C-alpha cells in the first residue's frame, strides 16, 4: 500500500553530494541564525514535517496518502497548516539552494536537507534514495502532524498511523535534542515583523546543534521537571530553564516508552543506529523505489576536508 512510485533518476551520487555540500556550507556560513543555534534543527523539522503527513490505508481511507514524495509542504495550503508554523524559514533557506540546483525535485531536496543537517550536526550517516517528484497543491496534506499538548496514547496512535511502533517513535522524538521552541520564529534577514512559531518557548539544551542522546538523559536523570508558570501553552521546565513538551514528558510517563528512553539514555550508539534506520524510513514513507535504486551515503564536509 505504497501510493507513490519513485522514478529512475539520471543523476549520480556525486551530483547529490554537490547539493549536500551546498546545504552544509550554507548551514556553516549562516551560523548566527536563531541565536547561533543555526539552520540545522529547523531543516530536520522541515524534512520530518514533509514526511509525517503519511497515513497507511485504513478502514477510513482505502489507500495510503501523504508523505514526502510530492514535496507538497512547499504549497501554502500545507505550509500554512498551524503545525508548520516557522517552517516558512526553512522554505526560504531551501529556495536559495533550489535556485542553484533546479534539477532536483522539491521532495528530494527537503529530505536531503534533513539528512545533511543530521550528519553535519554530528549525527549518524542516514541512507537516502532519490526519485521523489513534484505533486500539485491539491495533493497538499494538512492536520496530520502531532499536537504537542497530548499524552502517550495519542502519540502511540498517531505514529501507528504512519506505521511506527514504540521503539521507532522514541528514537525519532530523540531529535528533540536539537534546536528549540519558538513563540515567534527567528527573523530572516530584512524581516521586520516575526511570524508565529509553535507558541512554546525554550532555553535550549547545552548543545542544541549537536546530535546526541541528551534528550533522553534529561528525561531520565533530571528530577526537577515541573509545570512552567506562564501564560503560554502548558509545558514542563527544569531548574536550568530547559523545557519539555507534554508529548516529550509522555515518553517517561508511559511505562513501555520509559524502558526505551532509559535504554537510549544509557547507550548513545544504539540510539544513533536506530535513529539512522528510523529517520530514513520516515523520509521514505509511502514511496516504492525501483529495485535497482541505489541508497546514497553522503560524506560530511569534514570527511571531504571542505
Ligand atoms: C509527538 C511528536 C512530536 C511533536 C508533538 C513535536 C512538536 C514540536 C514542537 C512544538 C516544536 C517547536 C517548534 C518551534 O516552535 O519552532 C518542535 C521542534 C522540533 N522538532 Fe518536533 N515534534 C515531534 C516529533 C519530532 C520528530 C519525529 C522529529 C524528527 C525526527 C522532530 C524534530 C524537531 C526538531 C529538530 C525541532 C527543533 C526545530 C527548531 O529548532 O527550529 N520532532 N517539535
Ligand atoms: C530539551 C528539549 C525538549 N523538547 C524539545 C522539543 C522541541 C524542540 C526542542 C526541544 C528540546 N531542545
Question: Can you spell out the DSSP letters for 58-103?
Answer: -SSSSS-B-SSTT-GGGSHHHHTSGGGTTTHHHHHHHHHHHHH-TT
Return the ligand 2 atom nearest residue 181 CA. Answer: 8
Q: How many CA atoms are closer than 13 Å to the CA of 125, on its beta-carbon side?
A: 9
Atom of ligand 2 nearest to the CA of 248: 4
Cβ of 180 below 6 Å from ligand 2: yes
Calculate the average pLDDT of the chain: 96
120 touches ligand 2 (CB under 6 Å):
no
Active site residue 226: no
Residue 76 CB coordination number (10 Å): 10
Cβ(108)–Cβ(293) below 8 Å: no
In the numeric block, the cell 522514541 is attached to 170
pLDDT at 255: 98
Atom of ligand 1 nearest to the CA of 275: 30
What confidence tens digit (pLDDT) does each residue in 166-189 have? 999 999 999 999 999 999 999 999
| DSSP per-residue codes, 181-232 | --SBPPPPTT--SPPB--S---B--S-TTS--SHHHHHHHH----EE--SSS
Q: State the pLDDT confidence band at 1, using cuts at 50, 70 and 90.
A: low
* DSSP bridge pairs for 242: 203
Question: To test ligand 2's pocket by mutation, which of 35, 38, 148, 181 has the most ligand atoms within 8 angstroms of CB?
Answer: 181
N-terminal to C-terminal alpha carbon distance within the chain = 42
The whole-angstrom distance between residue 44's C-alpha and the CA centroid of its chain comes to: 4
Which of 43, 243, 264 most suits a substitution to test ligand 2, by most atoms within 8 Å of the C-beta?
Answer: 243
Question: 135 — phi, psi (to 5°)?
Answer: -110, 150
Percentage of the residues of the chain whose pLDDT score is greater than 70: 99
Ligand with smallest separation from the Cα of 197: 1
Cβ–ligand 2 contact at 181 (below 6 Å) = yes
**Catalytic, out of 39, 48, 49, 128:** 49
* pTM of the shown model: 0.98
Model ipTM value: 0.99
On the question of pLDDT at 14 being above 90, the answer is: yes
Amino acid at each position: 500500500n505504497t501510493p507513490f512510485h519513485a522514478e529512475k533518476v539520471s543523476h549520480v551520487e556525486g551530483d547529490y553530494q554537490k547539493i549536500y555540500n551546498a546545504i552544509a556550507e550554507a548551514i556553516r556560513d549562516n551560523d548566527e541564525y536563531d541565536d547561533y543555534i543555526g539552520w540545522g534543527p529547523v531543516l530536520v523539522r522541515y524534512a520530518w514535517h514533509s514526511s509525517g503527513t503519511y497515513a497507511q490505508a485504513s478502514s477510513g481511507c482505502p489507500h495510503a496518502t501523504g508523505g514526502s514524495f510530492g514535496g507538497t509542504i512547499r504549497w501554502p495550503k500545507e505550509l500554512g497548516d498551524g503545525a508548520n508554523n516557522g517552517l516558512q524559514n526553512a522554505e526560504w533557506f531551501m529556495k536559495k539552494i533550489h535556485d542553484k540546483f533546479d534539477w532536483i525535485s522539491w521532495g528530494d531536496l527537503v529530505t536531503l536537507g534533513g539528512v545533511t543537517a543530521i550528519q553535519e550536526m554530528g549525527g549518524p550517516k542516514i541512507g537516502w534514495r532519490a526519485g521523489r517528484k513534484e505533486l500539485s497543491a491539491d495533493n497538499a496534506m494538512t492536520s496530520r502532524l502531532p499536537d504537542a499538548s497530548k499524552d502517550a496514547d495519542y502519540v502511540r496512535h498517531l505514529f501507528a498511523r504512519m506505521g511506527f511502533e514504540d521503539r521507532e517513535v522514541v528514537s525519532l522524538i530523540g531529535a528533540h535534542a536539537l534546536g528549540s521552541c519558538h513563540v515567534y520564529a527567528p527573523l530572516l534577514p530584512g524581516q521586520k515583523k516575526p511570524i508565529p512559531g509553535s507558541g512554546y518557548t525554550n532555553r535550549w539544551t547545552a548543545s542544541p546543534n549537536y546530535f546526541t542522546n541528551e534528550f533522553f538523559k534529561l528525561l531520565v536523570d533530571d528530577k526537577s521537571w515541573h509545570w512552567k508558570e506562564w501564560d503560554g501553552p502548558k509545558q514542563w521546565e527544569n531548574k536550568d530553564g530547559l523545557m519539555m513538551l507534554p508529548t516529550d514528558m509522555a515518553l517517561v510517563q508511559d511505562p513501555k516508552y520509559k524502558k526505551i528512553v532509559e535504554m537510549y539514555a544509557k547507550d548513545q550508539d544504539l540510539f544513533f543506529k536506530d535513529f539512522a534506520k528510523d529517520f530514513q524510513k520516515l523520509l521514505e514513507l509511502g514511496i516504492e523505489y525501483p529495485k535497482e535504486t541505489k541508497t546514497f551515503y553522503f560524506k560530511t564536509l569534514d570527511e571531504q576536508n571542505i
